[in-house]
Amino acid sequence: MHPRLHQAQFLIAAGRADQFPEGGLEVAFAGRSNVGKSSAINALLNRNKLARTSNTPGRTQQIIFYALGDEERRLVDLPGYGYAKVPHAVKEQWGRLIETYLLDRESLAGLVLIMDARRPMQEFDQQMLEWADHFDLPLLVLLTKADKLKANEARRTRDFVKAELASRFPDMKAQLFSATKGTGVPEARDQLVEWLRLAETEKSDGQ
């Protein structure tokens, strides 16, 4: 079935692994705190306020699942990594939740790693790349807030990240993105749809 990006709905905000939806397929969005994950989801779904965004880092504290037309296809907004002001115990709990999700999620068809185009390839980003590579998970880097860079700076950043990926993780892709200007939205949408379709084909082949 075709994933319906234009019919997205909030499904569940999960604070525990036993609340994760069962079965189906999904694409998850990861990235450092305040980088623009929720805004990217809204832009891709063409919805202003579906995913809650904020100037305050650490807005998304649970794992939020959105259904695409039906509950079998989903986008997943992961809590941001590295928000310093959160108490240690809370941070540990988030960490465990995300880890549980990433390590044991059969539904996961692809990972979108959001980086700030002005500060790409930070330590957390590198960890996520290694992790996705280790588990053979398809990964797309969105270099977001590209609207904050001059066109030539944005291109230089994109080429740098692409070159890094090509030398270390040749199957991964990167593109510029802006939630506010809509840059890169159609291309990223195509990738999500392709992943969900591919994963579905693989699933039915395996049955």
Q: Which residues bind Mg ion (CB under 5 A)?
A: 37-38, 59-60
Can you tell me which of 60, 107, 157, 191 binds ligand GTP, judged by CB under 6 A?
60
Can you tell me which of 38, 157, 175, 191 binds ligand GTP, judged by CB under 6 A?
38
DSSP state of 19: G
Closest distance to ligand GTP from the beta carbon of 178 (Å) = 4
Can you tell me which of 59, 73, 74, 158 binds ligand GTP, judged by CB under 6 A?
59
Residue span 1-20 as binding mask against ligand GTP, x where in contact by CB under 6 A, dash where not: --------------------
Q: What element of type H or E holds 110? A: strand 108-116
Q: Which of 22, 34, 139 is nearest to 74 (CA)?
A: 22
Give phi and psi for 176, each to the nearest 5.
-75, 155
Identify each DSSP E strand in 80-180 by its residue range. 108-116, 139-144, 173-176
* Residue 53 lies near ligand GTP (rule: CB under 6 A): yes
Q: Which of 31, 20, 27 is nearest to 62 (CA)?
A: 20
The rounded radius of gyration (Å) of the Cα atoms in the chain is 16
* Residue 110 lies near ligand GTP (rule: CB under 6 A): no
* Residue 144 lies near ligand GTP (rule: CB under 6 A): yes
